[in-house]
Chain A
Amino acid sequence: MSFSGFTKTRFMLCEGDDDKGVLEALISARHLPDFQVCHSAECNPRNVGGRSGFSGAIKGMEALSGFRDLRALLIVTDNDALQTSFAEVQEAISVNGHTPPSNPHAVGNMLGKAISILMIPSDTVAGDLETLCLPAIHAQWPNAQQCVTAFLQCSGADAWTKRSSISKARARSAAVGFHEPDPYKGIGHLFRQGVLSALNPCFDSVATFLQNFDGMCGI
């Protein structure tokens, strides 16, 4: 864990390090309102990542240094299951005694701080971070789409039932096959390094959400 307290007035909790890298790059590239971005394993004493780590990450946050100066929290999660993803985050908030937002465009309350949930790629489209990022990956490596499609057909991954795993395999395969300096690097790192561009229009809706975040939260 590397989260010991709040350092900014806006705090963003996401699922993993790739999410963190993409979101930080997006904020930086587009000069969006600044957030302290952490992923759930960083804030969770058991190092539980992903959406299942949100509850433990939220627990006890109010006693950490800097919470007093915090104005709003945003939880960013994959909308990989349209029927349940949002509700699971609501549960992670409410189980800690706070009031979750009633819908993805609403604001809840965490001890007087606004708390909201951002679904990616959007609240109406099922998918995940990689789904959101694929256009930016294809823009950087135009041959990636064709090559990766062929590779996944060959491996059989394109027939996986877990759709989020397919999109992860696509993004990962592209990075492995096209990023010669270090094929091991994840997409979060590639966005941080500017290899992939957060200015791609695929991020416009998320950027708009973040741009309007203060107004939505009334801060």
Chain B
Amino acid sequence: MKQLSLSRFPLAHFPMLTAMYQDCDGKGKMEIAEREYQREEIGGYLMIEALHVENFRSFKSLKLTELKRVNIIVGKNASGKTVLLEAIKLGLDATPGSFPWLNSMRGMVFMIPPNLTAEQFKEQFVDFFHEFNPEIPISIQIDDSTKKRASVRIYFDPKRATTTQPGIGFQPAPSLSIPTTIIPLAFDRTDFQGQKNVLLASINPQGQLNMEPGRPMGISSGFFSNAYFGVPQENATWLSKLSVEKRSGEVIEALQRHFPFVRDVTSETTVQGLGTVYADLPHLPRKIPLSLVSGGISRLFTLMLAIVTFREGVVLIDEVENGIFHDQWELIWKTLADLAEHHNTQLFVSTHSNECLKAALPTIREKPHDFALLRVRRENGQSVIEPFRGDQLESALDKNGEIRD
């Protein structure tokens, strides 16, 4: 099994998570799913056209069809907007490492202590199952625009149970000196190419957490939580890659349309040897890290970079309005939609802000068929989604109406 580098995982943003992983195996070599985003040339523009989710978090059953290039998600707090984004991300990655990663995006620590029992192991994952019931598998199916399907079923598989051997690999507590049988969590996957495999989250016989890595299902994706303001090193990596490919200019120009005072943006290496995105501002004698210029600008730049980086993939943005002054919103919708169109990137974008939504109207009006509205709400404790076409969204916004719920 491939040992994966933690450097691929944006853990610098989550120091507690980093600490937890290092604690788990003592060497910082925890096997986690590889999150290297891959742009795969599968042939033509692929887009998620339909989504079927069962038993994931607040969704008991969700079927969406006719998804578009830009899908705007609205709904009240705790309606399930973020869960929808998570479901898409999980469906596109479908690896055991997806679970701790998704929790980390919510600021939660995924803690696997040593000496854990089978129940404690299972308890780490029950939050992902609808109504905390791991007896019913999580199922996610994604149909792309060429009618290919990727699917994953996630369930505890007693047939693959393993027995830990206390005393090997860690110091057992006296009460846990007997072997513990762990029922692994299975990710039963079929990717867009029809290839099937099963990845497991389990505890190995030495008592260490084992998250089998796997490749994404065939459509690359980036997820940006509401609190995600970009990881400088990750942004620097993306920017360098785009620069080498002579594709960074479009992103920088887009940023300059919003913030003309930014003379240039470059990927530089700090004295600590870390990559960081720097901005050149005319009134300063030296470049300054972009994240020090403004958190909001840095976030916007991250989103722009992501749309270009994940071309022919999917970018999931939670609360797009965060950190951005309202006078930029209209242009932001246009920028994001134009970049998405140019790079065949599909967007799922949530927002709480009516003002931000209304600012989308001119962009939606240009190409209403590129947009869909997904209104999430709670009904009998479950999340449900009302989908609307772009022209319906346009008309409702045109009325200056309330569409959030």
Contact A63 B395 (CB under 8 A): yes
Closest Cβ–Cβ distance, residue B308 to chain A (whole Å):
31
Closest Cβ–Cβ distance, residue B125 to chain A (whole Å):
34
Contacts of A64 in B (CB 8 A): 396, 399, 401-403
Contacts of A3 in B (CB 8 A): 399, 401
Closest Cβ–Cβ distance, residue A99 to chain B (whole Å):
17
Q: How distant is the Cα of A3 from the Cα of B392 in the complex, in angstroms? A: 16
Assess whether B386 is interfacial by the CB under 8 Å rule. Answer: yes
Q: How distant is the Cα of A62 from the Cα of B399 in the complex, in angstroms? A: 12
Partner of A45, one of B393, B400, B402: B400
Contact A59 B395 (CB under 8 A): yes
With A60-B392, A63-B392, A63-B393 known as contacts, the answer to whether A1 contacts B402 (CB < 8 A) is no
Interface centre among B386, B402, B405 (most CB of A within 10 A): B402
Q: How distant is the Cα of A62 from the Cα of B398 in the complex, in angstroms? A: 13
Interface centre among A3, A43, A65 (most CB of B within 10 A): A65
Contact B400 A63 (CB under 8 A): no
Q: How distant is the Cα of A1 from the Cα of B400 in the complex, in angstroms? A: 8
Q: Looking at chain B's contact residues, is the secondary structure mostly helix, strand, loop, or mixed?
A: mixed
Assess whether B394 is interfacial by the CB under 8 Å rule. Answer: yes
With A60-B392, A60-B394 known as contacts, the answer to whether A45 contacts B403 (CB < 8 A) is no
Closest Cβ–Cβ distance, residue B219 to chain A (whole Å):
28
Which range holds the interface residue count of chain A? 10 to 19
Closest Cβ–Cβ distance, residue A215 to chain B (whole Å):
28
Contacts of B373 in A (CB 8 A): 63
Contact B399 A4 (CB under 8 A): yes
Q: Which of B370-405 contact A (CB under 8 A)?
A: 373, 375, 386, 388, 391-405
Closest Cβ–Cβ distance, residue A124 to chain B (whole Å):
34
Chain B residue nearest to A42 in the complex (CB): B399
Contacts of B399 in A (CB 8 A): 1, 3-4, 43-45, 60, 64
Contacts of B386 in A (CB 8 A): 68
Closest Cβ–Cβ distance, residue A48 to chain B (whole Å):
12
Q: How distant is the Cα of A43 from the Cα of B401 in the complex, in angstroms? A: 9
Which range holds the interface residue count of chain B? 10 to 19
Contacts of B395 in A (CB 8 A): 45, 59-61, 63
Contact A4 B401 (CB under 8 A): yes
Binary contact readout A1-40 vs B (1 if CB under 8 angstroms, 0 otherwise): 1011100000000000000000000000000000000000
Contacts of B388 in A (CB 8 A): 62-63
Contacts of A63 in B (CB 8 A): 373, 375, 388, 392-393, 395-396, 401, 403
Contact B392 A62 (CB under 8 A): yes
Closest Cβ–Cβ distance, residue A6 to chain B (whole Å):
9
Contacts of A65 in B (CB 8 A): 401-405
Q: How distant is the Cα of A68 from the Cα of B398 in the complex, in angstroms? A: 19
Q: How distant is the Cα of A5 from the Cα of B405 in the complex, in angstroms? A: 9
Contacts of A43 in B (CB 8 A): 399
Q: How distant is the Cα of A208 from the Cα of B222 in the complex, in angstroms? A: 59
Closest Cβ–Cβ distance, residue B74 to chain A (whole Å):
10
Q: How distant is the Cα of A45 from the Cα of B399 in the complex, in angstroms? A: 5
Chain A residue nearest to B400 in the complex (CB): A1
Q: Which of A30-79 contact B (CB under 8 A)?
A: 43-45, 59-65, 68
Q: How distant is the Cα of A61 from the Cα of B403 in the complex, in angstroms? A: 10
Q: Which of B237-286 contact A (CB under 8 A)?
A: none
Contacts of B392 in A (CB 8 A): 60, 62-63
Contacts of A5 in B (CB 8 A): 401-403
Contact B405 A45 (CB under 8 A): no
Contacts of B402 in A (CB 8 A): 4-5, 64-65
A interface, CB within 8 angstroms of B: 1, 3-5, 43-45, 59-65, 68
B interface, CB within 8 angstroms of A: 373, 375, 386, 388, 391-405
18 A-B pairs whose Cβ atoms sit less than 8 Å apart in the complex: A3-B399, A3-B401, A4-B400, A5-B402, A5-B403, A44-B399, A45-B400, A60-B393, A60-B396, A60-B397, A60-B401, A63-B375, A63-B388, A63-B395, A63-B403, A64-B396, A65-B401, A65-B402
Q: Please provide the 3 A-B residue pairs with the shortest distance between their CB atoms, ordered closest to farther.
A: A60-B395, A63-B396, A45-B398
